[in-house]
Amino acid sequence: MFGLAPDWLLEDGRPLATATVLSHPEQLDRLRSACPEAAPTAVLAGDPCYDRILAALPQRDRFRRALGVGPGQRLIVVSSTWASRSLFGGGRAGGADEPGADERGTEEPGAADLLPWLLSRLAAELPADEYRTAAVLHPNIWYGHGPGQVQAWLDSARRAGLEAIPPLDGWRQALIAADCVLGDHSSVTYYAASIGVPVVLGAFPQEDLDPRSPVAALGRTAPRLLRRGSLRAQIDRAIDAHHPDRYKALAEQTSSSPGESAVLLRRLFYDLMGIPEPEAHPALLDPLPLPPYTPARVTAPIRVLVRQLSADPPELAVTRYAVVGDAPDPDPARDPAAPVGTADTAHTAADEETRETGRLSVADVVVRRAAEDDARLGPPAAWASEALDRYPYCGLVAYVDGPDRCVVRTREGDLVRLSAAADPDGRPDLCDPAVYASALHAWLTDGHSLDAALPAITVRTGTAAHHVTVEPLPQPPPPRPSAGSHSSDWASSTRSRSAPIRSPFSS
């Protein structure tokens, strides 16, 4: 527990608080040792934050869907407390290693740019459709540096799909939904371990902690993040080798009265006020709300690797990596955790709202996300025609107008709707529909016809299979020639648009 020292609890040698609320007797033992003057004020009353987390555990699947995490995806949460030895502060003690450190992280880490390195590696190594990433940063980071500065620090990672969880709301739901937490000595990381989530420590100043504390015990138990080797392999190993009871002893020290904090705290508050509790109203905690639906949005250019698994019926494996700034294109061959098999084709996809606007002129697939009836863009077919004219090297454009569907137009002029089948419960497939557009583009550029893709294709992202209906759409009527123009001019323009121009960056 943070703050047991006299500097935090006493003023002029006397306790500041009338009641010092503790969640477990082990804290009382340490309080008696560290600040005996405050021990008479101690009250064991559980942990309301932990109780709200425990009560919401059955909602895990809903919290995952709220973050856009679909079947076969893994949610990786990066968590940091404040101060210089935290993950965000540089992790100068007991965190990511220099060459020669073992998995227990016994050596000092190197540079103080641990978090930027970690965020860049997450984008470079984790396929965008197989992993979802989120960051939970201590409120003191947000308010100490200001939201604008924090968002600027996270900007590249956010464009690669990272979700920056607000400092006060949503972080508990993200922990419950997580498959792995990359953290430090924060209470958030400890809560994650307490509910059975695999934890990897990127920074951990063991010497700054009371060795008797449960948080210090977590530092002696959890694996450490290593800079050398594959980040993806370390994450997958932590998840695959994890046993739900690994941190059971630590969980038992989180609260001595799980589920009872509301009753205990209200009783304490009314006793301090000297008035009886209201008998007609039970003491209750607010349940954790269901967060809004926020799927990953990658606005950085994406390198798409496609492997054909079958021609009849059509089945393709798609692996996508966000490429931020001047970062090199991903090389899965260097990643031992990458699936076996060489991609047959590779191309670049770009969101039309990307900051790297220069990539749009050479992208093979351009994507726009909007409602079907967005009056600013027109219907999907109209936008698609305009986009093909605007981006001459583009072979296919996609208008994503729902969580599981998009409308695409090819350079040859075909207009098609791609729709993913729902799961057995009727819930929509949460895979980014732009994946299906890239799969169709790879199918066509590999020499196959659109007719051969009808009525459906199977697209695989990691271990997940998405069954996608390919539905040709009627062509909208051509615009009428304006007064004074010649129909032959319009026909010539149409033929010119249909001529495919291959991007020099395709492979």
- What pLDDT shows up at residue 207? 84
- What pLDDT shows up at residue 493? 40
Find tokens 């090819």 and name the residue.
410
- What pLDDT shows up at residue 326? 65
What mean pLDDT do residues 179-189 have?
Answer: 95
State how far the alpha carbon of 470 is from the alpha carbons of 226, 230, 458, in Å: 44, 37, 10
The dihedral through the CA atoms of 54, 55, 56, 58 has a sign that is positive
Contact 203, 95 (CB under 8 A): yes
What mean pLDDT do residues 39-55 have?
Answer: 97
Please give the Cα distance from 49 to 64 (Å, whole number). Answer: 20
491 pLDDT higher than 80: no
Please give the Cα distance from 87 to 205 (Å, whole number). Answer: 10
Please give the Cα distance from 404 to 71 (Å, whole number). Answer: 14
What mean pLDDT do residues 7-30 have?
Answer: 93
- What pLDDT shows up at residue 69? 97
Closest CA to 125 of 117, 135, 113, 136: 117
Q: Bigger pLDDT: 309 or 107?
A: 309
Find tokens 């709220």 and name the residue.
66
Please give the Cα distance from 476 to 420 (Å, whole number). Answer: 24
Q: Bigger pLDDT: 106 or 49?
A: 49
State how far the alpha carbon of 112 is from the alpha carbons of 90, 115, 170, 469, in Å: 4, 8, 28, 49
What mean pLDDT do residues 366-382 have?
Answer: 95
Range 289-292 contact pairs with CB under 8 angstroms and sequence separation of 24 or more: 289/169, 290/59, 290/62, 290/63, 290/66, 290/173, 291/63, 291/66, 291/67, 291/169, 291/170, 291/173, 292/66
Q: Number of helices (H) and strands (E) in the chain: give both, helices first.
A: 17, 18
Closest CA to 159 of 298, 333, 328: 298
Record the tokens describing residue 55, joined without a space: 């009560």
125 pLDDT higher than 60: yes
Closest CA to 395 of 347, 433, 353: 347
Query: Which positions ≥6 away from 31 have C-beta within 8 Å?
Result: 4, 20, 22, 38, 39, 42
Among 78-82, 92-96, 197-201, name the one with the lowest average pLDDT.
Answer: 92-96
Record the tokens describing residue 334, joined without a space: 């260097």
Closest CA to 26 of 8, 14, 42, 6: 42
Degrees, nearest 5: CA angle 36-42-44: 140
Task: Count how many Cα atoms sit within 13 Å of the Cα of residue 392 in the half-sphere of its side chain.
Answer: 4
The DSSP 8-state label assigned to residue 211 in this structure reads T
Record the tokens describing residue 175, joined without a space: 């922990």
Closest CA to 266 of 250, 249, 284, 254: 284
505 pLDDT higher than 60: no
- What pLDDT shows up at residue 3? 66
Per DSSP, the residues of 137-192 read E-HHHHHHH-HHHHHHHTHHHHHTT-EE--SSSSHHHHHHH-SEEEE-SSHHHHHH
Largest Cα–Cα separation, the chain:
95
Q: How confident is the model at residue 104 (pLDDT cuts 50, 70, 90)?
A: very low
10 Å CB burial of residue 116 (0-12, 13-18, 19+) is middle
471 pLDDT higher than 70: yes
Closest CA to 291 of 49, 65, 53: 65
**pTM (predicted TM-score):** 0.89
Please give the Cα distance from 228 to 224 (Å, whole number). Answer: 12
Q: How confident is the model at residue 210 (pLDDT cuts 50, 70, 90)?
A: confident
The length of the chain, given as a count of residues: 507
Please give the Cα distance from 218 to 358 (Å, whole number). Answer: 47
Contact 318, 341 (CB under 8 A): no
